[in-house]
Structures are given as structure tokens and as C-alpha cells.
Structure 1
Amino acid sequence: MFTAVLQNSRIEVKWQPIALGWRGETYRLMKRYPEALQDFDRAIELDPKYDWAIACRGQTYHKMKCYREALQDFDRAIELNSKFDWAIAHRARTYHRMKFYREALQDFDRAIELNPKFDWAIVLRAQTYHRMKFYREALQDFDRAIELNPKFDWAIAHRARTYHRMKFYREALQDFDRAIELNPKFDWAIVLRAQTYQSMERYPEALKDFDRAIELNPKYDWAIVHRGQTYLMLKLYNEALADFNRAINLDSDSNWKLYNRALAYLALNQADKARADLLLAIKLAKEDYEKDAKDWNNAFNLALYYLVAQYNQPAEQLYRYVLSQGASLELIHAAIQDLNDFLTVFPDHVQAKSMRQLLQSSLT
């Protein structure tokens, strides 16, 4: 009798950390992260070598954006099990979120070497290459992941995004079509297809996609503001203004949204309202500039706001400064496109034409 009780007690002790670990994972999947952490902590206290629970706790910290704590747990799990490909891939993902892209690549390489059919890790490595602007390497990984899983809609949509960045718009459209066919409610892919249509100046098709994405997600402010921009290009200024108002109601601290609403006000001859929006956009962008003077995208935006507000000298000085600091070709092209869009609405703006020529001359 005593032996049986002792054996049952040992079994209970053996299974307790496993049960706690799985309950913690259930809480994590339910996004009840504090309860998940409590269970993982207890499981790991009972079994300090429980690598799976340690890695799951790391993933929980990742979801809570506690990235340094996540790294500590992934390090510990991998030290216990050097071939734990899932933990290695999740550590790579955490490095990616922290913008430690080279460290992320090293871990993705290691995880994929351990598991060559790890399609999820291959796609995330592709995304890391994309972030580093290594677009051809990104395409190779997306191709590989999609070959492993031809219905991997998320990978197909991200390959399309890479094609878009490379200005291979037709290839991008083919992939977006394929991803959306696989997942008709994939609002992010629908918006990016709309933006591809925008880049091709196929504005009616862009509007249809923006309408579809916003119907799926009425609070999708990114889609709403881009639909407003499309209305601007079509000279439908009242419709544009309605969208910019709606987007700003969702996020009133976006200098880019305020700038776009100012354009709509200017086109509708409401100069006072336009100036109020421009001054606030300038204030917000200057605050961001003071925090990070090397955010060249924000600096180009601030220069554009100065230009539209008729602060011509500060605008030109800032454009020239950013160019002198070696802004990437991609950002320069984007700044040129912003000027092109502005000149579509206001084609006679002399200073905007001059600044566009300045930026274009820097590319030769």
C-alpha cells in the first residue's frame, strides 16, 4: 500500500510541470499572458531543465513585447537543447522585432539548417532580408517557402510586397491576386494590392480594393488615408476630405494624415483650415525629428510640409541636408513620388517642381 502511494506520488510530481506547461500554453493562446507566465514559472521551478516550457515563456514575453526577457529564456532553452529549431527560430524573430537583423539572420540560418522544410522560419528570414533591403535574397526565400507550401497565403502576399518594393508591379499583382483568392478576407493584402494599383496610376481599381478592405475592417486607418489619397489624385476632393477626417478621428497624432487633409482643404479653397493642419503637422514632425534626426523618411516629410506651408528656405535646406547625409535611393524615390502626388493636385507649384528637380538630380 505504501509503495503504491509512493509510486503515485512520484508520477504526480513527474507530470505536474508538464500539466502546468500545457495550461500555460493554453493561457498564452488565449492571450491571457499574466496567467501563462505564472504557470510557466511554476513548471520551470519544478523542472529547471524543462526546455519547452522555458521557450514557451520566452514566446509569451515576446507577445508582451518584453523582448530582453524573451531573449534570456530562448538563450536558456537553446543552451539546454542546441537543436531546438523552434526556439532558435523564435529567438530570431525576437531579434527581428528588436531590429537586430544580422543576429536574426544567423539564428534563422541555424534553424533552417536543422529543419530545411521549416517554411515559417524561411518566410521570416525572407522578411528580415526585406527589412535589410536585400530584396533578391528575400525573393529566393519566399520562392522556397511557397514551393514547400503552395497555399501559404501570407508568404505569397509578402513576396508580392517585395515585388512592389522592386517596382515589379505586374508580378506583385499576380501574387496579391493569388493570396487574396486563397484568403478573400486578407485585408492587409487587399490594401497592398490597392497601393500597387496606385503606383501604376490605376486609380479606379485601387478604389475598389480600398473599399473592400475598409468594408472588412472599418477602423483600418491606413486603408482609409490611402483611399483619401486616391480620391485626391482623381480630384474628388470632398470624398478625400471625408476619408482624411475619418482617419484622423482614429489617430489624431499622425502628421502625415494632417498633411493630406491640408491638401484637401487647399484644393477646396479652405486656406485657414489647411494652414492649421500644416502647422500642426510641422510641429509633430519636428518633435519626431528632435527625437531621431536620422529618420530620413520623417525628415523628407518635414521638408515637404515646409514646402506646402510656403516656408521655402527651410524646405530647401532640409531637402539638401538629407541628401548630403546619404539618404537611401529608395527614400529619395519615395520623396520624389510625394512631390509628384502634390503636383498632380497643384501642377503650377514652382518650388515643388524645383525641389523635385533637386531630388532627381541627386540620382544621376
Structure 2
Amino acid sequence: MGSFFKSFFSGSTNENTEEDKAKNDKKNFDIFKYDGIRARKIGQVDYAIRCYKEALNLEEDFETMNYLVEAYSVKNELEEAVAVAGRMLKLEPDHIPTLLARANLNFMLENYAPVLSDCEQVLNKEPENYVAYYLRAKAKKASGDLLGAIADLTKAIAAKEDFPDAYLLRGEILFGMSQFTEALQDANKVIELMPEEEIAFLLQGKINEATGKIEEAKANYQSVLDLNPFNEQAYLQLGQLYIHQNELEQAISFFDEALEIKADFVQAYNERGRAKYLKGDKKGAAEDMKKALELDPEGELAKSLEGQLKNFNDMYQGGIY
């Protein structure tokens, strides 16, 4: 009789054990997943990643993988993020947001062929997806296909007329190709859409400077500084313009102001030194160059001077600029 009951209940016991394990795994999965979410919200990204990975060891969950991709991206662990996005696409091969996310991650990794492939897949599904056109344009530009990039940006704009990023990138490419009229039109459009976009004002300034509209260029660069007094590029563009116009006192005073705002602004020391040298203040020029080298001993300035100068006393004796 005992043997009968043992045999009768043995199967049920195994089933209960498997069911209990499944319930326990599901419980632990939820604990790890939501612990990860809570950790991410309070900035504990490393712990969040550990939780997500433990959860995924228990269950291949699409949403948790997405959280893990985001966490890896925050940590700038982009290769790991790409790998997890690939796992997501095995579960949902045509998931457009994941394809675009992977394309963007690969762009940041300078892996341009996968960007083109993922964008192509998106556009096969959604021919009017402006983000895919934009990402593909960025990859084409980085790969040297400037005309292809312009074509894709034009398609992106056709699909979304109020797309400032596309106008800005197209304007930058056109500027690089000396298509100044068209580039200025794009820069103006960006400012129409985003009146406080600093990069668009910088682009306007570069175009006006290149076409000899010096006062307009100065006003453009000053507009950037009015929006953001810490914009280093605007200081350099405007300061260098003063130097090119032989307004050396203005240039020196301008870079004085820049260095009051940012005392470790290496290029400002370098450019102020150049203005001082051209004005005849060789000692002041040497002091500024020395300071620039102290702040950035491995930078471009140091490389350009390698093997040319034996000591700082020689800086102003051999035509350093």
C-alpha cells in the first residue's frame, strides 16, 4: 500500500517542484528588475546594471533589456549596449525604436556600416521615418559621402519640415563645400525654429566671415556669447576675427575677458599670446604660451612646438607665430 501511494504521488511532487521553481524564478526576476529600476532612478547605475543582468539570467525580457541598454549608454559602455540591443532584435526583429537606438550607438562607436544597414531596414518598413534618414546622413557624412548625406537630410526635412537638427547638419556640410548661400538659408531656418541654438549662430558667423561680412559675423559670435557666456568656440571665433582684422588691442582685451570666465582656457592663452606677439609684446606672448603648455602639455600646441624650442626664453626669438 505504501508503495502504491509513493508511486501515485511521485509525479505530483515533481510537478509541484517545477511549479515552485517557476514561481520562485518569476519572483526573483521581478525583484531584480524593479530593484534595478529603483537604483537607476537614484543614480546607482552600476547596481542597476547588476540587477538587470541577474533578472535577464532568469528571463529574456524585452523591457528589461531596454533598461539595460539605457544603463550601459549612461556608463558609455556602448559595445555592451549594442550587444544587448542585438538580443532585443532577436526577440522583435522589426522593432523600429530598437533599430534606431542600435544605429545611434554604432554611430557613436564609429561603426558606420551597421548604421546604414539598420537605417535601411527602418526605411524599408517606414519610408517616411525622418530619424532614420538623419542617422543615415550622419553616417554618410562621417564616411565621406557628402552628397549622399545632403540627399538624406533633404528627405528628412521633406518628412518633417520643422527638423532643426537636419537643417543644421545640412548647413554645416554645405558650408564645408563653400555653398555659402544655401548654408546660410539652413542656418537661418534653424534659428527660426530654435531662436537660442548657439551652433546655428556660430554657423551664421562662419558663413558671414567667409563671405567678407565681418560686422555681421562679429554680431553672430556675440549673439552666441549673449546666450552662453561660457561658449569657448564663440570666444575663439570672435577673438581670431579681431586678430585677422588687426584689432590687436581688442583681441587681447577680449581674451582677457574669456580667461576671467575660464582660467584654464588653453586656446585663449594661445590666441592672446599670438595677438601680443603681433603687437610686439614678445615677453607677454611667451608667458601666455608657457601657460598654455603648462595647462595642456600633451595638446596640439605642444606637438607643434616639439623639437623647435629648447626653452621658453627662445619662444619670442624665432618667430613663434
User: Common fold, TM-score beyond 0.5?
Assistant: yes
Shift of 1:166: 1.0
Shift of 1:99: 1.8
Match of 1:164 among 168, 172, 175: 175
Match of 2:148 among 126, 131, 137: 137
Match of 2:251 among 212, 217, 240: 240
Give 1:252's aligned residue: 264
Alignment gaps of 5+ in structure 1: 1-8, 289-297, 316-341, 343-364
Give 1:226's aligned residue: 237
Q: 1:55 to 1:40 in 2, by over 3 A?
A: farther
Give 1:69's aligned residue: 80
- Find out whether 1:83 has 2:94 as its counterpart: yes
Asked whether the equivalents of residues 49 and 72 of structure 2 are also in contact (C-alpha less than 8 Å), the reply is no
Asked whether the equivalents of residues 229 and 260 of structure 1 are also in contact (C-alpha less than 8 Å), the reply is yes
Give the structure-1-normalised TM-score: 0.67
Match of 2:139 among 121, 128, 135: 128
Asked whether the equivalents of residues 240 and 264 of structure 1 are also in contact (C-alpha less than 8 Å), the reply is yes
Asked whether the equivalents of residues 283 and 316 of structure 2 are also in contact (C-alpha less than 8 Å), the reply is no
User: Distance in 2 between the 1:168 and 1:304 partners?
Assistant: 37
Shift of 1:109: 2.4
Task: State the superposition RMSD in angstroms.
Answer: 3.9
Question: Matched residues, percent identical?
Answer: 19
- Find out whether 1:112 has 2:123 as its counterpart: yes
Give the structure-2-normalised TM-score: 0.75
Alignment gaps of 5+ in structure 2: 1-22, 310-314
Give 1:302's aligned residue: 304
Q: 1:311 to 1:115 in 2, by over 3 A?
A: farther
Residue type of the alignment partner of 2:107: H
Asked whether the equivalents of residues 286 and 302 of structure 1 are also in contact (C-alpha less than 8 Å), the reply is no
What's the secondary structure of 1:287's corresponding residue?
A: coil
CA deviations on 1:4-39 (whole Å, 9 max, x unpaired) are xxxxx99x97x968x949956994xxx946289369
Asked whether the equivalents of residues 56 and 65 of structure 2 are also in contact (C-alpha less than 8 Å), the reply is no
Asked whether the equivalents of residues 232 and 240 of structure 1 are also in contact (C-alpha less than 8 Å), the reply is yes
Q: 1:117 to 1:238 in 2, by over 3 A?
A: same
User: Distance in 2 between the 1:282 and 1:227 partners?
Assistant: 22
Asked whether the equivalents of residues 218 and 238 of structure 2 are also in contact (C-alpha less than 8 Å), the reply is yes
User: Distance in 1 between the 2:144 and 2:241 partners?
Assistant: 27
User: Distance in 1 between the 2:235 and 2:307 partners?
Assistant: 21
User: Distance in 2 between the 1:305 and 1:200 partners?
Assistant: 38
- Find out whether 1:287 has 2:298 as its counterpart: yes
CA deviations on 1:218-261 (whole Å, 9 max, x unpaired) are 1111111111112222322233223334445537363x443322
Give 1:214's aligned residue: 225
- Find out whether 1:92 has 2:94 as its counterpart: no
Residue type of the alignment partner of 1:302: S
Moved more, 211-220 or 72-81: 72-81
Residue type of the alignment partner of 2:304: L
